[in-house]
Structures are given as C-alpha cells and as structure tokens.
Amino acid sequence: MTYDAVARFPAYRGRRLRQSPALRRLVAETRLTADQFVLPLFVRSGRKVRHPIGSMPGVCQLSPDELLTEATTAHAAGIPAVLLFGIPDRKDEKASGAYATKGVVQQAIRLLKRELPDLLVITDVCLCEYMSHGHCGIVHAHSRGARILNDPTLKLLARAAVSHAEAGADIVAPSDMMDGRVGAIRTALDAAGFTETPIMSYAAKFASAFYGPFREAAESAPKFGDRRSYQMDAANADEALREVASDIQEGADIVMVKPALAYLDLVYRVKTTFGYPTAAYAVSGEFSMIKAAAEKGWLDERAVMTEALLAIRRAGADILITYAAVEMARWLKGS
Ligand code: PBG
C-alpha cells in the first residue's frame, strides 16, 4: 500500500475491526497453520535412545525407533514434513557417514518412508556433522592455518544428496554454503534418475551465533576457526540476494533464509524479489531464547512463540522450519 492510499483515509478507525476475537480472526492478514511447519529432528544410531539436548528444552537426539515415534506424533498433529540431521558414530576427514548407504540418516529415511509414506522427509545435506574437524567442507591444512576447499567438497555433497534420494528422501536441503553446490547436486540427482526430487537450498545462510545450541545438538561445532569463509556476513543483505539468485539459477526449487527473526528484511526481500517458495529457519538460538525466558517466568512462551512465527510469516515466508512445530500445531488446534 502506498502512502497516498493511506493519506486518503485519514480518519481510519481500526477499533471497529478489533472488537472481538472472531472479528479479529476474520480480518487477519496472516495466519499460522500446521501445514506450513517443518520439524527438524536429530537422528543417531541405537535403540530406545532419547538423548536430551541441554540447551534445547524438549529436543532430543533420537535413535531411529524413537525418531519414528516423534515423527508419528508430528504427522498426527498435522505437520507435513520433517527435516533430518544425522549424528554418526564415527567422524573422519572425508565425511564418509554423510553418503554411506547404511548411514544413520539413510536408514532413518527408509524407516520413515516405509511407516509414514505421506510424511515428507527433507534431509539436511551437509558434511559438518560427519567431519572430524566439524567444518562443512574438505579442509586443506597449510603453514598459515587451514582452508576449506570449495570445489572438491561439491562431489561429496552431491554423493550425500544422491544417497538420500536413493533412500527415499522427498526433498534434499543443502546447508553447507559452498559455491556451486546446488548445480552440482542437481546434475548428480538428474544423472542418477532423480529428476523430480526438489532442492530446498539454504540460500541466504548467515554465519550466526544463533546456531549455538544446534552445534551441541548435532555435535558439529568446528574444532578450529569459524564458518565465516563460507557462511554470510550479518552486515550484508544485497549479497544475500545474489546468493539466492545464483541458487535459483543453479536449480533450487525452494529457497531458505536462515536464521529467521534477525533476518526478516531478507525474508521479505527474497520473497518479493524472486517470488519463489520461501522457507525461513527459526534456528536453535531463536527457540532456546524463548524457552529459557519462559522457564524463568519472564515471557509467556505460547504468546511469544506465536508472535515470532507470525512475524516470519508476515515477512513473506511460506514455510516455517521450527523446533516448536508440534507444540504450535497443538496450540493452533486448541485455540
Ligand atoms: C549445518 C547446519 C547448521 C544448522 C543447520 N544446518 C549449523 C551451522 O551451520 O553451524 C543450524 C540450525 C540451528 O541452529 O537450528 N551446516
């Protein structure tokens, strides 16, 4: 709406439309519904394992059987999709676990697709959880430190994505931020016959301190250095649009902004600039901040969680990736 349009109605009386909950619902411009939610889940080997993440209340690393229980609950609450992260038993310097046919994520995908065929399984495609050094790519050590090798990493990412598709993944989601990875993954998927498997790219992914709790959850904190050479600088928005544009050119079907709450300008600009299906990832730190304040009795958890997710939707996100998906879905049903 332009300023002119607003100025023509100087005596707008908003009160008329705010008199009751039903009236407010009728004129609401943005809504939250469970079918916009994606629930991230962490899978590790074993049976009956529910290993709680201290910094993410209510979130656990799960063995495949427990993962199935959690996914069943989410599905029953109306959530259409889960996003899988794997914690392998062993890590090495070529991230073997990321593309092993019997890797923990690959097994989990098969189980979920067998037991819950209607639930969409999205897989995070990255190497950091599987690398002994915790970086998202192959590391080359040299006299003045270490460097991430972009191009050799692409092959491994493509192998990981194909192994997920072979196991039955519905969507692959590369989160590594190497240059050219969407194109490399698209080519590899097509060559393996998975021409219909969509790519949801973490297109505008910032080097963010809000990922702190996740690194405990996924055991993926880098052992040295940080991720600033491949993830984006919080100061840059135009550059983020360039990253999104190149992912779309390389074949991304859905683009993601991450984190969400501190980057709402980008959610808005990505949606309005490209008009692509846009996902926003309300990351671990965003979740844990609200949980921690609620535990102290400082914030109303349900109200703040609702307001935060509504803001992300209002900014333009079609898809909300949130650790609070199940509780939100239940709240929405109850209200
Ligand atoms: C892997 C990855 C990360 C997250 C999603 N995929 C961590 C990182 O980049 O360090 C963060 C998710 C969250 O904080 O909830 N590269």
| Whether pLDDT at 94 is above 80 | yes
- Ligand 1 neighbours, Cβ below 6 Å, are 124, 126, 128, 136, 175-176, 211, 214-215, 227, 283-284
Among 124, 130, 211, 257, say which to mutate for ligand 1: greatest number of ligand atoms within 8 Å of CB: 211
Q: Is 45 inside a domain boundary?
A: yes
Q: Quick check: 18 pLDDT over 90?
A: yes
pLDDT of residue 145: 78
Tell me the mean pLDDT in the region 223-249. 93
Domain encompassing residue 176: 31-333
Task: Mark whether 258 is an active-site residue.
Answer: yes
pLDDT at 191: 98
pLDDT band of 161, cuts 50, 70, 90: very high
Establish if 130 belongs to a structural domain. Answer: yes
**What SS3 class is residue 55?**
coil
pLDDT tens digit sequence for 244-257? 999 999 999 999 99
Q: Is the pLDDT of residue 158 over 70?
A: yes
pLDDT at residue 123, as a whole number:
98
Provide the whole-model pTM: 0.95
pLDDT value, residue 224: 84
Average pLDDT score, the chain? 94
Q: Whose CA is nearest to atom 7 of ligand 1?
A: 211
Task: Name 85's bridge partners.
Answer: 42
**Degrees to nearest 5, angle at CA 148 with 231 and 288:** 35
Secondary structure class of 236 (helix, strand, coil): coil
pLDDT for 1: 67
In this structure, is residue 325 part of a structural domain?
A: yes
Q: Is residue 46 part of a domain?
A: yes
Domain presence at residue 121: yes
Burial class of residue 26 in the structure, from the number of CB atoms within 10 Å of its CB (0-12 exposed, 13-18 middle, 19+ buried): exposed
The strand pair at 37-44 and 81-87 is best described as: parallel
Nearest CA among 327, 330, 308, 326 for reference residue 317: 308
**Residue 17 falls inside a structural domain:** no
- Determine the distance separating the centroid of ligand 1 and the alpha carbon of 124, expressed in angstroms: 9
Amino acid letter, residue 260: A
Nearest CA owner, ligand 1 atom 5? 175
Percent of the chain with pLDDT over 70: 98
Residue at 235 is within a domain: yes
According to the model, what pLDDT value does residue 162 have? 98
Helices (H), the chain: 3-7, 21-26, 64-76, 104-115, 150-167, 181-191, 212-217, 238-250, 264-274, 284-295, 301-315, 325-334
CA of 20 to the centre of ligand 1 (A): 41
Checking if the pLDDT of 281 tops 80, the result is yes
Atom of ligand 1 nearest to the CA of 136: 16
The number of domains in the chain is 1
- The tokens for 302 are 């349900």
- How many Cα atoms within 13 Å fall on the side-chain side of residue 109? 30
Q: What would the mean pLDDT of 258-280 be, rounded to a whole number?
A: 98
CATH number at residue 191: 3.20.20.70
Q: What is the structure's pLDDT at 11?
A: 79
For residues 141 and 110, which has the higher predicted lDDT (pLDDT)?
110
Tens of pLDDT along 3-14?
776 677 667 888
Is 157 contained in some domain? yes
Q: One of 205, 223, 291, 296 is an active-site residue; which one?
A: 205
List pLDDT tens digits, range 41-56.
999 999 999 999 999 9
